[in-house]
Structure 1
Amino acid sequence: MVSAAAPVPASPLRELSRRYAGYRARLVAAVVLSTVNKVADVVPELLIGAAVDVVVRGDRSFVADVVGADSRYEQLVWLAVVNALVWVVESVSEYLAALTWRRLAQTIEHDLRVEAYAHVQQLDVAWHETRPAGTTLATLNDDVNQLERFLDVGAAAILQTVLNVVLVGLVFAAASPTLLVLAFAPIPVIVAGSLVFQRRLDPLYARVRETVADLSGTLSANLGGITTIKAFTAEGRERDRVASASLAYREANEAAIRSSAAFVPLVRIAILVGFTCTLLIGGFQVLDGTLEVGLYSVLVFMTQRLLWPLTAVAEVLDLYQRGRASAGRILGLLAVPVTVQPGEVLLAEPAGRIELRGVRAGYADGPDVIHDLDLVVPAGETHAVVGPTGSGKSTLLRLVLRFEDPRAGTVLLDDVDARDLEWATVRGAMGYVSQDVYLFSGTVADNIAYGRPEATREEVERAARAAEASAFVEAMPQGYDTPVGERGVTLSGGQRQRLALARALLRDPAVLVLDEATSAVDNETEAAIQRSLGLVTAERTALVVAHRLSTVRHADRIWVLDAGRIAESGTHDELVAAGGAYAQLWAVQTGDLGVRSTPA
């Protein structure tokens, strides 16, 4: 059954903060350093006012009262020294704050990507099959990067803006309550505008994330199917399809950018109002003698300091919305439940007996594919499962491998319910060779040893010989150290199949599971694989799904599936003699159409 989509938290960034509470000390350090930096950033404006006060008032200046110096020259020297110290503190704190914020962002990005990927690996195979790989890739890569960008730049910018308002507000409150009210009057307008724009931007950036996932999925699928595209001369059509997906992404971004860019003019108007009030009202107070000229200079500079950084609110809001949308998608992915969970029972050395009792199974919310199926494979025997397309053969193997669980009934390994067993027992006991072999980018030896990375070269070569792969491997330019390319594109289908068999055999599994392992190979390769299987299945359980009946005629028992039910079972000779469904399949494949069903 496919895992249901999980609800996205109402406040994704707050949820992330809760999840990564272990980094709170680093966050506090970053906040402290940013605070020190902002305080040091504001002090120079105060020193400008103090300098003006020294020039205008002389021995009656604020500096003269603090340092006890009557000479204007001496007072200015004191200001220069303090200014130099402030600049040192500001520069050092800015460097340390940036370093701390970025390290925090990079660490969370790394942890979140690894956590999300680890979770995705645990999700059911059916979930992966019903979700475009590009969508998952976009979440693991692009969404995590967007979130990192917000944590790196946006979070620090928000903190700096808040600190700026608080510190400048304190200066205005101490100098002139009237100017405090006038200079801060535009801020509620900017905040209200921010909230309006935030609500408007939220769905726009959700659309951006959707379109980039579609684009990523299209690109991923097309690169994976490049040979098919070329074979059908579909390059132009696929280019247009990618262009259409890219255009949708561009248009979604442009819509979001238009809305966020419209916020800047609003902020500029607010700055104009606030600065004009300080300039006029403050100037009038100086002329009336109710405000010192030094403080007036400070407040004029401070008004710019207060309001001008708010022009960056649009950019910060843009980063926030992108980060929030990305965080929501990542958390939504992390919240998808893992429905196929391992048990706790560990069998040290599984014998390999497999049994299915009254099993029903299907995909997602669709009808049953397997109906009340009973099947037993004794340890050490080779059993085959055959039947027409859609009869449920691959579904049966998925249940044995526990890629999914049955809707009803039980799958047992050594008389223990597979749901009660640890993965080390269930899948550790299995050697799996699929029809569509997947080889990873790396060497031949790397791919054979994939299931047992600690295996020695001697063990790798022994497995290759058992799979009759050693001859072609040793003929390669670099032998076992030859790169196979992504998905093994440098190898033929038969070579990939034999490497996959070697990979399965290296694990020395109790159960060898083969899913149409010879359906896409030539006769010579099929004969080689059959010779290998004849040797390696002599002392272990083998469950083989086959289309070519010639490959399973020597099986201890053959199970014939039809529409998800056992139609008949027995040895090859018994089934041919019975004249039933198997006999008809055998007649078609051998050309002996004289075989007829036995009358009921």
Structure 2
Amino acid sequence: MSSNTSSFQALGRLLRYARGYRRQIIAATTFSIINKLFDIAPELLIGVAIDVVVNKEESFVAAIGFTSAEEQIVVLGVLTFFIWAGESLFEYLFQVAWRNLAQRLQADLRQDAYEHAQRLDMHFFESRSSGQLVATMNDDVNQLERFLDGGANAIIQVAVTILAVGAVFFVISPTVAALAFTPIPVIIWGAFYFQRKAGPLYADVRDKVGDLSSRLANNLGGIATIKSFTAEKREAERLRESSDAYVAANQHAIRISSAFIPLIRMAVLVGFLGTFTVGGMMALNGDLNVGAYGVLVFLTQRLLWPLTGMAQVIDLFERAMASTRRILDLIAEPVHVRDQANQPLAQPVQGAVTFENVQFRYANSESGVRGISLDITAGHTLALVGATGSGKSTLIKLLLRFYDVQGGRILIDGKPIQDVSLKSVREAIGLVSQDVYLFEGTIRDNIAYGRPDATDAEIIEAAKTAEAWSFIENLADGLDTPVGERGVRLSGGQRQRLSLARALLKDPPILVLDEATSAVDNETEAAIQRSLRRIGHNRTVIMIAHRLSTIVHADQIAVIEDGEVRERGTHEELIDRDGSYAAQWRVQTGAMKEGDQVVAK
């Protein structure tokens, strides 16, 4: 597909998206057209003024009732005033209209892109860099805004100039008009040639922007690791490589853009010289009115010279369409996990969870689960143990419908989760994961994230239950203490306790702990264990743990290996069975015997 075709397709997609802005687009376009008509009018008045000075009582103005030359000049002066006033008024109107349209459209595009991204499957985020997504929602949207701020108006006004000036030319002298319009096919050809060459280059520029944003985001997020490995110089060089790639991509596009301007200037010169010389000869021979000759000379400049700016306009257009494709492609990204049911879970949710022959495989991977069946009675605790990649976390993702099962069913209180609203399923589940994510803000903001309307008393109670209040009350600002980006101002154990408090304030009937104690110290683990013993009553708890000491009191333990349930029972039952669980228990307690193997974590 050629670049100009894909660019116009992107423009068509943008116009379809912007159907709700039709009135604003029509108004802005109308203001641009009227402004340009007023802008062209002074050249006509100059020609009429020359006609008045040369022909006086026999001028064009005299023919419409103003006989004396003085009256004619006064009339032209009044017309000039109103024309300039009209031009100024409509310039103000089109500037306001286009800029407001640009602001509103870019804000809505960013919002729609973000809201759609929130609905996309977890697979989408696992296969995309956050830097690329941020570049699309921010830099690409801003690129489109810049085009709407000026480029759209410029294209409309160039088209109006060609049509309006062309009409005047052909009325006055078709011969001169033909000469003046001779360069336009060359200019149009040059514009499309430039567009065809520049399109892929600007698509590459947008990709390089995403790569650069991704590099910056990754490096700033991993600054502690960079410092600890004294890798500052190496990472600075990698950033320089990404930055240089972006500069090089821009330089290729700039070379094409810069070559367009001299081509247009020479074409303009040909048209101007044709009007100037041939029109002048016709005026000398009496075949063309002197005033009309003046109009044609001035209008040739007005017709052709704005076309020299088409390089910058097309430059803006190509950048904007490359960005538009990326934005609209994101909005068009299909959602596979769909919320097709309006019926919520029956209230109150008891918390019984059933996995029936659940099967799932990740794309381009052999990992997943196959044929897993588990039944968790409401108010009981299930612990999942097994090596990394065995399928434990996959079960949690399927329960939360981050992915949909490819076979079998998952039920809550006997109701298949795909037959009830996605919102009610996720509201029934509280997740505390190993990788705690805290949002920039205060401790209060983060604990109350699931219940923004919670009172301070409720927040404090949740913090006490999670054994987080002891460190919070010792902070100078207490609940108002900023946590920093991703909670960097807090220790790992403090972040984990806040994450637990956040889940508890939500008060879900099903609590999921995905290796919530694997990265904390012994004191924090003991505190979390005390919390779990208090909150586990009358609540369904699903725990994923590598530290078997944290799950000995679970009502049921399932050992997952290679996506299948290999053992199931209580701690005592599994020890007596002397299988893989018992072997792992002996490894962790230091009571290994010959034949025991360490399970990879």
Normalised by the length of structure 2, the TM-score is 0.96
The residue that corresponds to 1:515 in the other structure is 514
Q: Aligned equivalents of 2:142 and 2:489: distance in 1?
A: 33
The residue that corresponds to 1:18 in the other structure is 16
Contact 2:367 2:390 in 1 (8 A): no
SS at structure 2 position matched to 1:151: helix
Of residues 192-201 and 232-241 in structure 1, the stretch that sits farther from structure 2 once superposed is 192-201
Alignment of 1:199-278 (within 5 A): 199-278=196-275
Q: Aligned equivalents of 2:192 and 2:388: distance in 1?
A: 57
The residue that corresponds to 2:326 in the other structure is 329
Q: Aligned equivalents of 1:524 and 1:566: distance in 2?
A: 32
The residue that corresponds to 1:459 in the other structure is 458
The residue that corresponds to 2:350 in the other structure is 351
- Residue type at the aligned position of 2:551: V
The residue that corresponds to 1:171 in the other structure is 168
1:343 CA drift (Å): 3.4
The residue that corresponds to 1:127 in the other structure is 124
The residue that corresponds to 2:77 in the other structure is 80
Alignment of 1:188-203 (within 5 A): 188-203=185-200
1:329 CA drift (Å): 1.0
Q: Aligned equivalents of 1:505 and 1:596: distance in 2?
A: 42
Contact 1:584 1:595 in 2 (8 A): no
**C-alpha distance after superposition, 1:414-462 (max 9, x if no partner):** 1111112212211000110010100000010100010111112211111
The residue that corresponds to 1:435 in the other structure is 434
The residue that corresponds to 2:312 in the other structure is 315
Q: Aligned equivalents of 2:141 and 2:410: distance in 1?
A: 39
**C-alpha distance after superposition, 1:502-559 (max 9, x if no partner):** 1001111010000000111111111111111111111110000001111110000111
Alignment of 1:586-597 (within 5 A): 586-594=585-593
Q: Does 1:107 align with 2:116?
A: no
- Residue type at the aligned position of 1:65: A
- Residue type at the aligned position of 1:415: G
SS at structure 2 position matched to 1:402: coil
Q: Does 1:36 align with 2:18?
A: no
1:10 CA drift (Å): 7.1
Residue 288 of structure 2: which of 287, 291, 295 is its match? 291
Alignment of 1:367-406 (within 5 A): 367-406=366-405
Q: Does 1:64 align with 2:62?
A: yes
1:365 CA drift (Å): 2.6
- Residue type at the aligned position of 1:421: V
Which stretches in structure 2 are left out of the alignment for 5+ residues? 1-5, 597-601
SS at structure 2 position matched to 1:539: coil
- Residue type at the aligned position of 1:81: V
Q: Aligned equivalents of 1:581 and 1:526: distance in 2?
A: 24
Of residues 183-192 and 347-356 in structure 1, the stretch that sits farther from structure 2 once superposed is 347-356
Q: Aligned equivalents of 1:146 and 1:564: distance in 2?
A: 46
Contact 1:583 1:595 in 2 (8 A): no
The residue that corresponds to 1:446 in the other structure is 445
The residue that corresponds to 1:5 in the other structure is none
Q: Does 1:574 align with 2:573?
A: yes
1:70 CA drift (Å): 2.7
Q: Aligned equivalents of 1:354 and 1:402: distance in 2?
A: 14
Contact 1:9 1:331 in 2 (8 A): no
Q: Aligned equivalents of 1:413 and 1:100: distance in 2?
A: 53
Over aligned residue pairs, what C-alpha RMSD do you find?
A: 1.3
The residue that corresponds to 1:479 in the other structure is 478
Contact 2:367 2:391 in 1 (8 A): no
1:369 CA drift (Å): 2.0
- Residue type at the aligned position of 2:59: S
Q: Aligned equivalents of 1:455 and 1:442: distance in 2?
A: 16
1:171 CA drift (Å): 1.0
Q: Aligned equivalents of 1:130 and 1:32: distance in 2?
A: 45
Q: Does 1:542 align with 2:541?
A: yes
1:9 CA drift (Å): 9.2
Of residues 426-435 and 55-64 in structure 1, the stretch that sits farther from structure 2 once superposed is 55-64
Q: Aligned equivalents of 1:389 and 1:206: distance in 2?
A: 40
Q: Aligned equivalents of 2:248 and 2:197: distance in 1?
A: 16
The residue that corresponds to 2:419 in the other structure is 420
Q: Aligned equivalents of 1:595 and 1:550: distance in 2?
A: 22
Of residues 337-346 and 159-168 in structure 1, the stretch that sits farther from structure 2 once superposed is 337-346
Contact 2:181 2:271 in 1 (8 A): yes
1:50 CA drift (Å): 1.1
Q: Does 1:150 align with 2:147?
A: yes
1:595 CA drift (Å): 8.4
**C-alpha distance after superposition, 1:42-80 (max 9, x if no partner):** 1111111111111111111112222x3332222212111
The residue that corresponds to 1:187 in the other structure is 184
Q: Aligned equivalents of 2:249 and 2:458: distance in 1?
A: 55
SS at structure 1 position matched to 2:61: helix
Alignment of 1:488-567 (within 5 A): 488-567=487-566
Q: Aligned equivalents of 1:455 and 1:314: distance in 2?
A: 57
Which stretches in structure 1 are left out of the alignment for 5+ residues? 1-7
**C-alpha distance after superposition, 1:311-361 (max 9, x if no partner):** 011011101111111111111111111101123220232211111111111
SS at structure 2 position matched to 1:11: helix
- Residue type at the aligned position of 2:485: E
- Give the % identical residues: 53
SS at structure 2 position matched to 1:262: helix
Distance 1:558 1:10, change over 3 A: farther
Q: Aligned equivalents of 1:594 and 1:250: distance in 2?
A: 62
- Residue type at the aligned position of 1:18: R
Contact 2:7 2:321 in 1 (8 A): no
1:183 CA drift (Å): 0.3
SS at structure 2 position matched to 1:438: coil
Q: Does 1:159 align with 2:156?
A: yes
- Residue type at the aligned position of 2:392: K
Distance 1:9 1:34, change over 3 A: closer
Q: Aligned equivalents of 2:150 and 2:365: distance in 1?
A: 47
The residue that corresponds to 1:3 in the other structure is none
**C-alpha distance after superposition, 1:70-107 (max 9, x if no partner):** 32222212111111111111011001101100111111
Q: Aligned equivalents of 1:239 and 1:259: distance in 2?
A: 31
Normalised by the length of structure 1, the TM-score is 0.96
Contact 1:342 1:420 in 2 (8 A): no
Q: Does 1:139 align with 2:140?
A: no
Contact 2:384 2:543 in 1 (8 A): yes
1:594 CA drift (Å): 4.1
**C-alpha distance after superposition, 1:472-531 (max 9, x if no partner):** 111111111111111001101111011000100111101000000011111111111111
SS at structure 2 position matched to 1:62: coil
Q: Aligned equivalents of 2:98 and 2:127: distance in 1?
A: 38
SS at structure 1 position matched to 2:427: coil
Contact 1:205 1:321 in 2 (8 A): yes
Distance 1:9 1:410, change over 3 A: farther
Contact 2:401 2:422 in 1 (8 A): no
Q: Aligned equivalents of 2:473 and 2:422: distance in 1?
A: 34
Of residues 377-386 and 394-403 in structure 1, the stretch that sits farther from structure 2 once superposed is 394-403
SS at structure 1 position matched to 2:405: coil
Contact 2:466 2:497 in 1 (8 A): yes
Distance 1:214 1:596, change over 3 A: closer
User: Matched residue pairs, number?
Assistant: 589
